[in-house]
Structure 1
Amino acid sequence: MVDCVSRQLGSHRGDGHHRFVSDAGDLTGIGIRTSEFMRQLQASCDTVGLGMHTLSTTLMYADLRSVYQFLHVLTGRVGSGDFRGGFVLDDVGDARSYSVLRQPFDGLVEVRDGDEAREVRTRGLDIGPRAWTPLPR
């Protein structure tokens, strides 16, 4: 885990699977720590997945161009290492930012609040529904 908040909260505890960066805007630090993990895991695992849950938070700390460049490099590393990647982006509220940030990805899983239930659809992937489909409760 590359942790962007525990140090700020004063609750950090390090171990072999936990690295820290100063904040969610420290894209260089996040990239370096993530690359360290990717090298370690690639040497010892058959299948490696990378998930980034703080993409929306990162946009609060860094500008759109920097986040795009970071994602471009990181998704390139994921692809060249034959990893799987999953990145979470909450509603950015701005169509331009959304359009820019989705460019480095092969596919999308979109979720929205429908009239009666949350709905999901996929784009650019060989899995999941292509049309908005209610999620089971």
Structure 2
Amino acid sequence: MSVQESTYTFEGLPLNGVEPGTNVLVTGPALGGIRELTMRMLLRGHAREGALVLAADVDGRQALTDYESLGGDLDFARVGVVDCTENGADDEEHNVHAVGSPADLTGAGIEFSSLYERLHANGAARVRTGVYTLSPFVVYAPAKSVFRFVHTLTGRIRTADGLGVCAIDPGAVDDQTLSSVAQAFDGKVELREADGQRAVRVRGLPDQPDGWQPVELDTP
């Protein structure tokens, strides 16, 4: 089976593999381990996979540090970040491209496309793309603009047989906005904490475990 035909797998997580071209919305509280869960879903399964993060809650260098601390291989030919924070800065050595603000959705889209193409040109047969998190985009930009941005992003990922993993804290946005954004995704992974135990539940994706599944996350 070729790289393009095989599923995306998530080592160490209670999730079954998903088909190329799948976009997943990850929901959960910002301080409940959602960053770690999102980053672990972006860990490259093999050398010919790339990873691209649109970072809005943390700057580009911190996103790379988080990724590496969870076992991510920082091969900067095939790993990169679009830094959408207000204090972000370009860092060519570490493949970080800064936009300047979560409000600049056009700039974020341009940098995403450019970096996506660069990772493919550098030998990444397919790319895992993550957004951590969508919440700042919703705060800084009009909801309709965010909706269009997310649809464009997920459409590009779907066409390229990539994987999209976008995190959002439901408590940080209104229900209507969350419902609108969710339409761009094929399914959802929900994260919760109850009685000191974290668990995930998958909605809308085929061949996944039923109900809530315990998950071990190191994030406090």
> TM-score, length-normalised on structure 2?
0.56
Q: Does 1:119 align with 2:196?
A: no
1:86 is paired with a residue whose SS is strand
CA contact (8 A) 1:121 1:128 kept: no
* Structure 2 portions without partners, runs of 5+: 1-80
Q: Which residue in 2 is equivalent to 1:41?
A: 119
* Structure 1 portions without partners, runs of 5+: none
Structure 1 position 47, deviation (Å): 2.3
Q: Which residue in 1 is equivalent to 2:110?
A: 32
1:2, 1:28 → 2: CA distance? 12
1:127, 1:67 → 2: CA distance? 30
Structure 1 position 115, deviation (Å): 3.4
The higher-RCO structure (CA 8 Å, 6+ apart) is 2
Structure 1 position 127, deviation (Å): 5.4
Structure 1 position 129, deviation (Å): 2.8
> TM-score, length-normalised on structure 1?
0.86
Output one character per residue of 1:18-42: Cα deviation in whole Å (capped at 9) or x when no partner: 1111201110000000000111122
4+ residue segments displaced more than 6 Å = none
Q: Which residue in 1 is equivalent to 2:83?
A: 3
Output one character per residue of 1:78-110: Cα deviation in whole Å (capped at 9) or x when no partner: 011111111111123532222111100011111
Alignment of 1:52-67 (within 5 A): 52-67=131-146
Q: Does 1:68 align with 2:147?
A: yes
Across the two proteins, how many residue pairs are aligned to each other? 134
More strand by share: 2
2:82, 2:155 → 1: CA distance? 18
CA contact (8 A) 2:198 2:214 kept: yes
Share of identical aligned residues, percent? 37
Structure 1 position 56, deviation (Å): 1.1
Q: 2:167 aligns with which of 85, 88, 91?
A: 88
Deviates more, 1:118-127 or 1:35-44: 118-127
